[in-house]
Amino acid sequence: MKHIKIFKSLTAVVALALMSSQAIAQMPDDAIMLGKKQLCTGFTFMHSQWDHYWEGTLKRENLNMGTVSTQSIMFMGVYGISDKLNVLTSVPYVWTHASAGTLHGMKGFQDLMLDLKWEAISKKLGKGKLSLFAVGGFNTPLSNYEADFQPMSIGMGSTNLSGRITADFQTGIFFATISGAYVWRSNIKIDRTSYYTTELHNTNEVEMPDVINSNLNIGIRKKNLIAEAVLMNMKTLSGFDIRRNDMPFASNQMNSTSIGAHVKYFIPWVTNLELIGGYDYVIDGKDIGLAKNRNVGKSQTFNIGVYYIFSLKK
Amino acid sequence: MKKILIPITGLSLMVILSVGCNKNISNRTDNTAALSTDNNDLGAGSWKPVFLSRADSFPVAAPDAINSTSYKADLNEIKALQQNLTKDEESKIKYWAAGGVLRWNEIMRDLMAKYNLPTVTNAAGNYPAPDANNPFAYPLFPFTNPPYAGRAYAYVSGAQYDALIACWYYKTKYNQAAPYKNDSSVDAKFINKTDLPSYPSEAAVLAGAAAEMMKLLFPGEIANIQQKATEQEQAAIASGAATRAAVVAGDALGRKVAQLYITRARGDHAGTAGGNPTIWTNFETIAMGLGETPWVSLEVPRRPPMLPLFSKVLPCLFDSATIPTFRPGPPPSTNSEEFKKDADEVYNFIKNPSRENIGIVQYWADGVGTYTPPGHWDAIAAEDFVKKNWSEVRMARNMALLNMAEMDAAIVCWDIKYFYFNPRPTQVNSSIKTLTGIPNFPSYVSGHSMFSGAASTLLSYLVPENAAKYQAMAKEAGMSRLMGGIHYRVDCEVGLQVGNKVGEYAVQRAQADGGN
C-alpha cells in the first residue's frame, strides 16, 4: 500500500479517466478488468427481503415469519495483477431479521470470496469487440456461523470452488455479457446429529449439492457509465424440496431466477470515485421458460456501493 | 506465458478437486458389525412382559424335525438363495445382521421425522386435524409431535419386547438349532454363528410385531413397512439363521402380540387427546380464575394447544392415579417479581447469544421435522447399546423400558403443563426472540427436561459406566431450552427432577422384570 500514489501527476489522472470504462468496480461475473497495478476498493450495502417463498414449487407466505430480510455490508477489493489478470476479494458482514413470529435474527461475517479473473481472448469482431474470460473462485466461511437455522442463517456454511466462463460483446456503447459458473460445494457439518431430507440421516454431515449460476447482462457501457439489465439464474443440481410447512434446510434444491437493473457511475469531477446501485427481484423461472423456482424467497434486493480506484504505478 | 499458466493451473486444480472429492455421506450405524452376543439370555422366556400376560399366551406349534422332508426343503431354499446372492441381498443381510431392534428403531425414527410437521391453515384460516381414517390426504396422519412419538416408540418397542419373551420361551422349549448347525452345506452368511435356538425366528418376530403395530400408528406407510419386514425375514433365511418355517412362526407370533398392543392403543385415550374448543377455553378460564396470565398460542393465526388431554392417556409404568402425584408446586405467579426476573433472565440469554449456546440449542432442538426428544434419546441409547453386544431380547427390553419411560414422561409432563397453563417467555416479553421454533403448548415444565430426566435416569441404570455422561446430557438438553429463549430456568430445573422420578419407575421395573 505504501506505493499508492494518487494524483501523482496529471498524466496519471488523465490515464485513469480514459480507462474509466475499464476501471469501474467489477464482479466475477462481468466483463470488466482493472489495469495493471490498479486497485479498486470500497463497500456495498445490500438489503434483500421477501414475504413470499417457494416451499418446493408451492409459492406461499408465512405469517409466522412475516418479511424476512437479509442485509449486509461488504468490503470488496480488486487488484490488477496485469491488464489481463485480476484478483477479486470480498468480505461481507451479514445480518438477518424476521418481521413477525419469534425467530431470532443472526449476524456475523459470512464468506470470504476470492476470485482470479483472466481475460483470455479479446479481439475485434466486425465493428465490435469480443472478449472471453475465465474465472476461478474460492469461497469459504469467515466465521463459524450457524448454517442450520434457515432461513435466519447468514449463509450455507460450505466452502466452494467455482469455475466460470464469460463472453462479452461490445459494439459502440452497447454490450451484452453472458456468463456461467459451476460451483462445487463442500459438505457441511451441522450441530445436530441427525436430520431429515427425503429420509433420515444419522450423521451431522450434510451433502451440499453443486450449483450453476448464470447471468445475461445487456446494456450500455460508456466512459463513465454502465447501465444494464440483468437476468440471473441459480440452478441447484440436486437437493430436496422443503416439505409442507417444514423449515428450509441448507441442502434444499434452491432454484431461482431474477431480473434487475444495475448502474455503475464514475463521477466525472472526482475521477477515482465510483458509485454503484442495483435493484433485482425474483421472478418465477417458469414464466420466462426457465426452470420453476424452488425453495427460495421471492426476494427484492437493493444495493448501493462506493468504490475508490487507486493506481499503484510508480 | 506465465500469466496464462496461473489461471489454467488454478482451473485444472479445481476440476481435479471437484472430481476427486467424494461428497457421499454415511450414517453412524451403516457399518455396524453383525450381532455378536456374549450371552443369549436363554432364560428370557421367564422375564416379565408388559402387556402380554404369559410367555405362552399364544401357542406356537413345534417345528418339524430336522430329518423331516419339510425341514430339508427349507434347507434347500436357503442353499439356493446362498448360491445366488446379489450385492443388494448381501447388503440387506449385513444391514439386518446388526440387530433387528436397532434397525426397527431407526426405521421408527425416520418415520417420526417424516411425519413431524404441523398442519398449515386451510382456506378458512383453521388448522385441520389429521384423520387416521384418511392418512393420505393433507394433513397427513399422524402428526408425530413429541407425545405422539413417545407413545408410538413405546408401543412398538413394548410389542417387540413382549413378543421376544414369547419367542425365547419357544426357542428354549423346542431347542432347534440354526440351519447352519444342522447342515454343513448351509453357511452363516455375514452373521455370527450362535447357539441360540432358531425356532421361531427372532428376526421374524421383530418384523411381524413392528409391521402389525405400525398399521395402527402409520397407516399411510403400510406398504413401506411391510417391505422392510419382508426384507428382514428374507435376510434371516438367506443368511442361514432361520428356516422359512421359523420365519412364518415368528412373524405370526409377533403379529399376535402386537394385536394386544393395538387393542391397548385403541383404548388408551390418545385418540381424544386433541380436545375441543370448549376444553381449550376452559384451561384459560381456570388460569384467569386463579389470577394468572393464561398461556396463549404465539402462532398466527392462533393454533389450538397441542394434545391438551394427553394427560388422560394410560401410562405404561404406573396407573393413571399416579399421574397427579408427580405434579410439582406451581411456577412463580405471573404477577410476581420473581416471574419478571425469570423472564428477564431468558431475555439476557437470547439478547446476544454465543455461538456455543446457539449450537447447544440446535443440537437439542428436536423440533419440527425431527424424530423428537424421545427419538433423540433412542438414538443415543441405541448407539450405546449396540456396543454392549446384548441379545436381541435384552436390547428390546432396554429399548422398551426407555420408551415406556419417555411415553409416561410425556403423559406426566402434559398433565403439569395444562394444570398450570403457564405462558411462554415470549408471550410476556415479545422482545424475547427464540433460537428454535417456539412449541405450541404451555411452558411449565419443559418437555425436553422431562424426557431427558427420565431417559438419563434409566440409561444410567442400564449402562452405569455412562451415567455421568447421560446426566450431563440431560442437564444440557434442559438448559438448551433456556438458552433458546423458549423456557424459564425453573421449567428446566423442575422438569429434570420430575423426569428423574418418572425414570425411577422404569428402573424399578427393570429391577423386577427378571432381566437382571
Q: What are the pLDDT digits (tens) for B278-306?
A: 999 999 999 999 999 999 999 999 999 99
The whole-number average pLDDT for the span B244-266 is: 98
A20 pLDDT more than 50? no
Distance, CA of A106 to CA of A96 (rounded, Å): 5
CA nearest to A97 within chain B:
B433
DSSP type of residue B44: G
B171 pLDDT more than 60? yes
Least confident stretch, A286-290, B22-26, B194-198, B263-267: B22-26
Of A67, A65, A56, residue with least CA distance to A284: A56
Model pLDDT, residue B38: 86
DSSP B123-178: TTS--PPP-TTSTTSSSPSP---HHHHHHHHHHHHHHHHHHHHHHHHHHHHH-PPP
pTM: 0.94
| Residues of chain A neighbouring B384 (CB-CB closer than 8 A) | none
CB within 8 Å: A246 and B355: no
- Given CB atoms, is A134 within the 8 Å cutoff of chain B? yes
A66 pLDDT more than 50? yes
How many residues would you count in chain A? 314
- Given CB atoms, is A154 within the 8 Å cutoff of chain B? no
Mean pLDDT over the full length of chain A = 91
- Band (B422; pLDDT cuts 50, 70, 90): very high
B352 pLDDT more than 50? yes
Nearest Cα of chain B lies from the Cα of A188 at a distance, in angstroms, of: 10
Compare CB distances from B110 to A148, A199, A244 and report the shortest one's residue. A199
Q: CA B109, B111, B114 angle in degrees (round to 5)? A: 110
ipTM above 0.90, yes or no: yes
- Band (B10; pLDDT cuts 50, 70, 90): low
- Dihedral sign for Cα A281, A284, A290, A292, please: positive
Nearest Cα of chain A lies from the Cα of B362 at a distance, in angstroms, of: 6
A29 pLDDT more than 90? no
Compare CB distances from B11 to A82, A136, A144 and report the shortest one's residue. A136
The whole-number average pLDDT for the span A261-289 is: 91
Model pLDDT, residue B16: 52
- Given CB atoms, is A287 within the 8 Å cutoff of chain B? no
Model pLDDT, residue B421: 98
- Kindly report, residue by residue over A245-266, the tens digit of the pLDDT: 999 999 999 999 999 999 999 8
Nearest Cα of chain B lies from the Cα of A261 at a distance, in angstroms, of: 30
Nearest Cα of chain B lies from the Cα of A3 at a distance, in angstroms, of: 23
CB within 8 Å: A246 and B362: no
Distance, CA of B367 to CA of B364 (rounded, Å): 9
- Distance between terminal CA atoms of chain A? 12
Q: CA B413, B416, B421 angle in degrees (round to 5)? A: 120
Distance, CA of A40 to CA of A22 (rounded, Å): 11
Model pLDDT, residue A10: 30
CA nearest to A119 within chain B:
B4
Mean pLDDT over the full length of chain B = 95
List C-alpha distances in Å: B259 to B52, B83, B342, B410: 10, 37, 48, 24
Residue B284 sits at φ, ψ, to 5 deg, of -65, -45
- Given CB atoms, is A99 within the 8 Å cutoff of chain B? no
What residues pair up with A228 in beta bridges, in sequence order? A219, A262
CB within 8 Å: B369 and A100: no
B144 pLDDT more than 80? yes
User: B102-139 burial string, b = 16+ CB within 10 Å, else e?
Assistant: bbbbbbbbbbbbbbbbbbeeeeeeebeebeeeebeeeb
Model pLDDT, residue A18: 31
List C-alpha distances in Å: B213 to A157, B261, B410: 41, 7, 20
DSSP B224-279: HHHHHHHHHHHHHHHTTS--HHHHHHHHHHHHHHHHHHHHHHHTSSGGGTT--HHH
DSSP type of residue A68: E
The whole-number average pLDDT for the span A224-245 is: 96
- Kindly report, residue by residue over A195-209, the tens digit of the pLDDT: 999 999 999 999 999
- Kindly report, residue by residue over B73-116, the tens digit of the pLDDT: 999 999 999 999 999 999 999 999 999 999 999 999 999 999 99
A314 pLDDT more than 80? no
The whole-number average pLDDT for the span B175-196 is: 98
Least confident stretch, A23-37, B310-324, B341-355, B373-387: A23-37
The whole-number average pLDDT for the span B202-211 is: 98
Model pLDDT, residue A14: 30
- Given CB atoms, is A202 within the 8 Å cutoff of chain B? yes
DSSP type of residue B489: H
What percent of chain A is predicted at pLDDT more than 90?
85
Distance, CA of B446 to CA of B146 (rounded, Å): 12
Residues 45 through 84 of chain A touching chain B, CB cutoff 8 Å: 60, 63-64, 81-82, 84
CB within 8 Å: A102 and B434: yes
Which one of A109, A117, A194 makes the best mutation probe of the B interface by having the most chain B beta carbons within 10 Å? A194
C-alpha cell at B10: 488454478
Residues 222 through 251 of chain A touching chain B, CB cutoff 8 Å: 243-247
What percent of chain B is predicted at pLDDT more than 70?
96
Compare CB distances from A247 to B6, B298, B369 and report the shortest one's residue. B369
- Kindly report, residue by residue over A157-202, the tens digit of the pLDDT: 999 999 999 999 999 999 999 999 999 999 999 999 999 999 999 9
Q: Are B368 and A247 in contact (CB under 8 A)?
A: yes
